[in-house]
Structure 1
Amino acid sequence: MNSSLKVLMNLSKVQAVISRRFDRLNIHGIGFNDFMVLYLLQQSADEKMRRIDLADKIGVTASGITRMLLPMEKIGLLTRETNERDARVSYVVLTPAGKQLFEDAEKTAKILAEEIIPAGKSKNMNLLSDLLIRLGGDIT
C-alpha cells in the first residue's frame, strides 16, 4: 500500500476519533458540525453567510447544509434572510441565542481541543496545518 493512501486512511480515522471526542458538545445541545456552523457564522461579516458558501466551508453539498441547518433554525440558533436584490440568494444569520450558545460551547470545545492536542505536543502544528489546508481544510 502506498504512503499517500495510508496517510488518508489514518486521516479518516483521526477525523472519526475527533468527532467522537467532540460528542461531548452535546451537553450544549449541539454536535461538532453544528459547532462549526456557529463558529463560521460568528467569524463572518455581520454574522451571516450565503448558504452555499457555508456548505463549501464545511465541505458538504447544498442539500447537506440545508438538512444540517433546519434543526438549528427550529430551535432559534439561526435564521434565514433573503437578498433584497436577488431572491435566489439566501443567507444564514446567527441569532443572539446562537451567539450565546456558541460562546458557551466554545469553552467546552477549547478544553476538548487541548485534550486532543496538548500545548506541548504541537511541535509540528504549522506543518500539519499547511498539509490540511492543501487537502481542502481551509476553515480559518
Structure 2
Amino acid sequence: MLDRCIRLSRAYTSAARRVDAKLSAVHGLSFSDFMILYHLKHAHNSRLRRADLADCMGLTASAVTKSLLSLEKIGLVSRQSDPRDARVGYACLTTTGEQVVADAQVSAEFACQEVYEAMVGEWNKAG
C-alpha cells in the first residue's frame, strides 16, 4: 500500500507541475493561483472566507492568505469584510479575476487532458 501512495503522490506532483507550466506560460498563473480563482468563481457570490478557501485547497489559512496577497496586488481578488462581524474577512473574485479564470480554465482543461492521456499511457506501459 505504501508503494501505491508513493506512486500516487509522484503522479500528482508530476501532473501539477505540467499544468502549472502551461498556466504559467500562457496566463502568468501558478496552478495554485488558478485553483484559488476557480474556487472563488464557483462559490456563492464569488467569495469565500479565507478559512473556507483554505479548506477547499487543503492548505493552511496562512498559505492561502499569502497567495491571496499576490492575487490582490494584480487585481484578480479583493478583500471584503463582513458588515455583521469585523473579524470575518472574505476573498472576492474581481471582474478582472472572473475573466482571467475563465480564460485560464480553457488552458487548464487542455493541460489536464494532456496530463491524463500521458499518465494513462504510462500506466498502460507499466501494465
Task: State if a TM-score over 0.5 links the two structures.
Answer: yes
Amino acid at match of 1:95: T
What do residues 59-101 of structure 1 show as CA deviations (whole Å, max 9, x unaligned)? 1111111111111000000000000111111000000000000
Q: Which runs of 4+ in 1 moved over 2 A?
A: none
Instruction: Tell me which residue corresponds to 2:99.
Output: 100
Q: Distance in 2 between matches of 1:98 and 1:85?
A: 26
Structure 2 counterpart of 1:8: 5
Give the match for residue 62 of structure 1: 61
Structure 1: distance between partners of 2:61 and 2:109: 29
Map 1:41-120 onto structure 2 (within 5 A).
41-118=40-117
For structure 1, the residue ranges without an aligned partner over 5 or more in a row are 122-140
Which secondary structure does the structure 1 equivalent of 2:85 belong to?
A: coil
State how many pairs are aligned. Answer: 116
Q: Find 2:23's aligned residue among 22, 25, 32.
A: 25
Whichever residue aligns with residue 76 of structure 1, its letter is G
**Structure having the larger proportion of residues in strand:** 2
User: C-alpha separation between the residues in 2 aligned to 1:50 and 1:99?
Assistant: 18
Distance 2:101 2:29 in 1: 10
Percent identity (aligned): 41
| Higher relative contact order, chain-length normalized (CA < 8 Å, sep 6+) | 2
1:43, CA displacement in angstroms? 0.5
Cα distance, 1:8 vs structure 2: 1.4
What is the CA distance between 1:117 and its match in structure 2? 2.0
CA distance in 1, matches of 2:105, 2:95: 15
RMSD: 1.0
Instruction: Judging by fraction of residues, say which structure has more helix.
Output: 2
Unmatched 5+ residue regions in structure 2?
A: 121-127
Provide TM-score, normalisation by structure 1. Answer: 0.80
* 1:76 counterpart SS class: coil
